[in-house]
Amino acid sequence: MPQTLDTDFGRWIGCDRNINIDRLLSILMKRRYFLAFIGSIVLSCLLSLRINLFSSTIATAQTQTILVSAAASLKDALEEIKPGFEKAHSNIKVNYNFGASGALQRQIEQGAPVDVFLSAATKQMDALAKAGLIDTSTRRKLLTNRLVLIVSKNSNLKISDFPSLTNSNVQRIAVGEPRSVPVGQYSEEVLKNLGILEQIRPKLVLANSVRHVLAAVETGNADAGIVYITDAKISDQVKVVATAANNLHSPIIYRMAVIKASKNPQAAKTFAQYLTRTAAKNIFEKFGFGIAR
């Protein structure tokens, strides 16, 4: 006579109380394999999740982001350089902060988390060096530039050289603020050495970056402006009417250095070194910069 199950256990597993023992064993075996199957799936998912999280953590730890504060006149060239650098160095991401060199200098002095500084003049870099804020072993000359006089491409004013700015029909002349904007410093030197600075000073409209000087001429808010040749080249709204002789102003030399407080000094040095290589130099030259010797 076949054995039967007559306990609460039978009800717990959902079986009839008169179930055959052999059938019970069969059911239990099936459930055992089913639970083992489910368990293996859960374990596999947990292991996969752990591996993915571990891989993600490693990737995050390996990727470094650096902040490069650079003179506004470098914007277009540096934006074009960025993809090539990040492709060559996939573990380094570059963010830019563009502005007047003087303003960028003050940000660094106030503790901004900058890794690399590119200045359009020596003055700002010297100030940071004196304050002990740059890694002096990384400081170097990078680029040169030229100073030009621009007018709107549709201008009917007879402006052909810098002395023309004294003409009575020239009312507004855009220049950089000389205390904080290097292009303003160079512009003031040119006008002073030509002996016309005081005569045209009432006409000067001060801008807080070279790009704002360019915009003032493009929009007709200034009759003329003094910018770098690299800025004039990127605009189809202005034309160059004169180029300042090099002996009328201090040498226009862009300098570069890694900031001493950089959180990613090696990545910062890697980027700085990349800017001195052929690929970067070719882009700088395309935008009209000279390579500093």
Tokens read off for 119:
């200045």
Domain that holds residue 30: 8-60
244-272 residue pLDDT tens: 999 999 999 999 999 999 999 999 999 99
* Count of structural domains, the chain: 3
**Residue 22 scores a pLDDT above 90:** no
Residues 218 and 257 in one domain: no
Q: Residue 222 is part of a domain; what is its CATH number?
A: 3.40.190.10
In this structure, is residue 2 part of a structural domain?
no
Residues 269 and 238 in one domain: no
Residues 174 and 122 in one domain: no
The bridge status of strand 116-119 relative to strand 64-71 is parallel
Q: Which candidate, 81, 79, 69, places its Cα nearest to that of 118?
A: 69
Residues 173 and 242 in one domain: yes
**187 annotated ligand-binding residue:** no
- Cα separations in angstroms, 136 against 115, 128, 289: 13, 10, 24
**101 annotated ligand-binding residue:** yes
Residues 192 and 240 in one domain: yes
Residues 156 and 213 in one domain: yes
Residues 139 and 270 in one domain: yes
Tokens read off for 54:
């571990």
In this structure, is residue 207 part of a structural domain?
yes
Residues 156 and 226 in one domain: yes
CA distance 237 to 225: 13
In this structure, is residue 201 part of a structural domain?
yes
**33 annotated ligand-binding residue:** no
In this structure, is residue 216 part of a structural domain?
yes
Q: Which candidate, 152, 150, 142, places its Cα nearest to that of 101?
A: 142
Contact present, 176 and 213 (Cβ < 8 Å): yes
The bridge status of strand 147-152 relative to strand 92-99 is unpaired
Q: Percent of the chain having pLDDT more than 90?
A: 78
Cα-flanking dihedrals φ and ψ of residue 179, to 5°? -80, -25
CA distance 256 to 158: 39
**Residue 29 scores a pLDDT above 90:** no
Residues 84 and 112 in one domain: yes
**Residue 13 scores a pLDDT above 90:** no
How many other CB atoms sit within 10 Å of the CB of residue 49?
10
In this structure, is residue 50 part of a structural domain?
yes
**Residue 59 scores a pLDDT above 70:** no
**90 annotated ligand-binding residue:** no
